[in-house]
Amino acid sequence: MTTADPTSVDTAGRTARTPQTALLETRDVVVTYGGVRAVDGMSLRVRAGEAVGLIGPNGAGKSSFLATLGGQQRVSSGHIALDGEDVTGLPAHRRARLGIVRTFQMTSEFGGMTTFENLLTAGVGVEGASLANVVLHRRRQREIEQSARARVWEVLERFEATHIADLYGRELSGGQRRLVEIMRCLMRSPKVLLLDEPMVGVAPHLVQRLVGDLKSLRDEGIALVIVEHALEVVQELCDHVNVMGLGKLIAAGTYDEVVRDAAVQAAYLG
């Protein structure tokens, strides 16, 4: 992720389509909660096949900014574009259809479903099995379900996770849960995968495995945007690291570049 080219997004948020156009681009994104300016003018670009880290001290605005990318948080001002198209006003489910998908920690509802069912529900949602479809087009619904079932097995095999297909969410280890969360996103064939602390609760010996899985997604061309406090993970996984402090981008570059930056050291110490 790099800072935005100021000429690339016009005032209506449209981006000129050039070979250099970023897959995901934000321009001057601001989020305010009451009087708190949690995100204060974030302009970033993310290319396809790039793993981008978002780091910074507690309260820097990372999660709020990530939520604006996924559409879970409305921006107070600014623009967000995917593939050159302005998506700023789109709700999360419409962005997900366009390819911006965010991992969510499994809630208790998921604990009562098997891994297979967890993935299936994510997959059936993709093709828009609305209530109307279910009621009016049963055959179409069966086709959607059949293709989603095939996709579930594809995803489980790709992550060597067929052995957890019949385990309930509540029976999974922390690392397996994180994997299911990522696999649920994969059911939606994302272009951009947003991850908020993907390594929380993962046993140390499984972190490497999950990092490897994320690298393989990146190498297939999916853009990853990762908020992560575990800096060794950021160092290993991310091609580009953005550091936030008090809502603003205070440094950007490779991991080695940003950790040497005086402003970054001051933000972490201060």
**Complex with ligand ATP: residue 152 or 264, whichever CB lies closer:** 264
> Which residue of 33, 189, 200, 212 would you call a contact of ligand ATP, by CB under 6 A?
33
Any idea which residue has 């880290």 for tokens? Answer: 53
Q: Compute, in degrees rounded to 10, the torsion defined by CA atoms 138, 139, 145, 146.
A: 160
Two structure tokens written together for 235:
């160092």
Does residue 15 sit in helix, strand or coil? strand
DSSP 114: B
CB of 171 to ligand ATP, least distance (A): 28
Only segment of 20-28, 58-66, 93-101, 180-188 that touches ligand ATP (CB under 6 A): 58-66
Only segment of 56-64, 106-114, 142-150, 213-221 that touches ligand ATP (CB under 6 A): 56-64
Would you count residue 53 as binding ligand ATP (CB under 6 A)?
no
Would you count residue 29 as binding ligand ATP (CB under 6 A)?
no
Q: Tell me the Cα Rg of the chain.
A: 19
Would you count residue 47 as binding ligand ATP (CB under 6 A)?
no
Exposed / middle / buried, residue 149 (Cβ in 10 Å: 0-12, 13-18, 19+): middle
User: In angstroms, rounded to a whole number, what is the distance separating the alpha carbons of residues 154 and 227?
Assistant: 27
> Which residue of 59, 84, 111, 253 would you call a contact of ligand ATP, by CB under 6 A?
59
Which residues of the chain form contacts with ligand ATP (CB under 6 A)? 33, 36, 38, 56, 58-64
